[in-house]
Amino acid sequence: MTDLSVSSPGASAISRRKKRRAVPVLVVFAIVWIGLMVAVALLADVIRPYEITAYDLSNRLSPPGNPSHLLGTDELGRDALSRLIESIRVSLLIALGASIISAVFGTLLGFLAASFRGAVEQLVLMLADFQAALPFLILSLSVLAFFGNSLWLLTCLMGLYGWERYARIARGLAISASSQGYAAAVVQLGATPSRVYIRHILPNIASTLIVSMTLTFPEIILLESSLSFLGLGVQPPMTSLGNMVGYGREYLTRAPWIMLAPAFVIMLTTLSISILGDWLRDKLDPTVR
């Protein structure tokens, strides 16, 4: 018998569209992991079994698997799981605050450069070039060593990282949007420049800026971890992921779980955010379609 089932062009087109809409497995994993980290940060006080400064010297350097301390304890008998949960919250808080500061500051300078042009534009571009050429880790070490350590200073300092990317993107997209018809029409209706940029241009370039933020976010996490690892980031009694890795390196041969658990979280978190950022860039960029 002859098989009469023939796939129509419409069915094949629908199948191709479904394949394009399918979310890759790695992206699903990244979304789940990021959601888990956000949930841990928000519910840290509820799910944390012990206070981060609670000592249990009888279980000092206890290995993972202990019913009382699932991830083991550190050199002072403090619960590693409790400190890991608190470290996730502190590191994500710093990274989120710094990413927002960097995005707002860079976008504002980019809009100023696109609006005024001339000397203002050249000044912004010169500052962006200087920022891109400056070793930011060395600058951060110098500032923290001179002014001391505090959470707000560390967050503001991290907020200066990567602003030049937002400035360049915002300037280029704002100039392109200003030359289009909708921006000129709003200006003809009497809208002020600030209203044009905030209410009309910014929503049209927001997707690109959000993708840029997802790509900068993991870099800020790694930078904060590096500073804490060197002892100039988050200070005791507070803790962060880099802080835990820094203290755990002295016990790497005797108690590797102290260092490996936060290092594993740093790796998966930065990897997940990078994967999600790449996927969003491909989905939101019309030139890729």
Residue listed under structure tokens 């009469």:
4
Residue 22: how many CB atoms within 10 A of its CB?
Answer: 10
Q: Which two tokens stand for residue 127?
A: 């500052």
Domain ranges of the chain: 48-57+65-284
Tokens of 277: 């950022």
Superfamily of domain 48-57+65-284: MetI-like (1.10.3720.10)
Read off the pLDDT band of 213 (50, 70, 90): confident
Q: Residue 248 is encoded by which pair of tokens?
A: 């755990």
SS3 of residue 69 by DSSP: strand
Predicted confidence at residue 77, as pLDDT, reads 85
Percent of the chain with pLDDT over 70: 85
Q: What is the pLDDT of residue 4?
A: 47
Task: Quote the pLDDT of residue 258.
Answer: 87
pLDDT in tens, 165-197: 899 988 888 887 777 666 666 666 666 667 777
Rounded-to-integer distance, Cα 97 and Cα 273, Å = 16
Residues with Cβ within 8 Å of 272's Cβ and at least 6 positions away in sequence, in order, are: 29, 30, 31, 33, 34
Longest CA–CA separation in the chain, Å: 86
Spatial separation of the C-alpha atoms in residues 112 and 106, rounded to whole Å: 10
